[in-house]
Amino acid sequence: MKLVSTPRIDFLRTLAAEILHNYGRGRTIIAIDGTDAAARATFADDLAAVFREQERHVFRASLRYFQHSRAEQERLAPDTPDRLYRVGYDYSALRRVLVEPFRMGGSTGFVTEEFDPDRDAWIQPTWQTAPADATLIIDGDYINRPELHGLWLFSVLLEGERGSEPQTRYLAEVHPRDIVSAVVDETNPQAPRRVLTDRC
């Protein structure tokens, strides 16, 4: 379905064209980083809509649904403000049920959600398959930390909101601005703009 053209949609179309130019065949995973969870999710959803507009097969996921249970987090670390940053996510499960099967292609099934942090309960798995050419867009806190950065073919860092103390620590320790594929200023969400960095 054709989307209504706005400065935001036009920006996302340009970004999608860049990604498709470089990674138009096979399975592509795109990561959306940033300190504002709502902004990340909206950006990822809107980018997915632009891919669908171009009749691409696209799937959405969020690191939010690959967290450890509260009991497991308590077992792994004391209750401090940065516990979620340090031990909150189950990256092994993320790789096992989503990233690795998605990248394998063929008829291998994958799961885009495993754990509901609001209910502190496992999600009944819904296995999905994809065609040979497909895109997975995943958003989440700390998504470019060393354990994960190599999983993404393209990554976007959204800037414009001040983060929490753990997010500030993540930015200082990991320096995602230096390793992502694109930095986007979303101070005005209706008119995002690309930020040129020393890497560009």
Write the pLDDT tens digit of every residue in 99-152: 999 999 888 999 999 999 999 999 999 999 999 999 999 999 999 999 999 999
Has residue 200 been placed in a domain?
Answer: no
pLDDT at 94: 98
pLDDT at 199: 56
Has residue 1 been placed in a domain?
Answer: no
Confidence of residue 162 (pLDDT cuts 50, 70, 90): confident
Confidence of residue 200 (pLDDT cuts 50, 70, 90): very low
Has residue 190 been placed in a domain?
Answer: yes
Has residue 127 been placed in a domain?
Answer: yes
Overall domain count for the chain: 1
- Percent pLDDT > 90 in the chain is 90
Has residue 122 been placed in a domain?
Answer: yes
Concatenating the DSSP letter of every residue in 29-59 gives EEEEEES-HHHHHHHHHHHHHHHHHTT--EE
- Show the domain range for 11: 7-195
pLDDT for 73-96, tens place per residue? 999 999 998 999 999 999 999 999
Tell me the pLDDT of the chain averaged across its residues: 95
Has residue 2 been placed in a domain?
Answer: no
Has residue 21 been placed in a domain?
Answer: yes
Query: Rounded to an integer, what distance in angstroms lies between the CA atom of residue 14 and that of residue 136?
Result: 18
Concatenating the DSSP letter of every residue in 154-178 gives EEEEEESS---HHHHHHHHHH-GGG
| Beta-sheet pairing, 182-185 with 193-195 | antiparallel
Has residue 155 been placed in a domain?
Answer: yes
pLDDT for 24-64, tens place per residue? 899 999 999 999 999 999 999 999 999 999 999 999 999 99
Beta bridge partners of 139: 32, 62
Q: Report the CATH number that the domain containing residue 153 is assigned in CATH.
A: 3.40.50.300
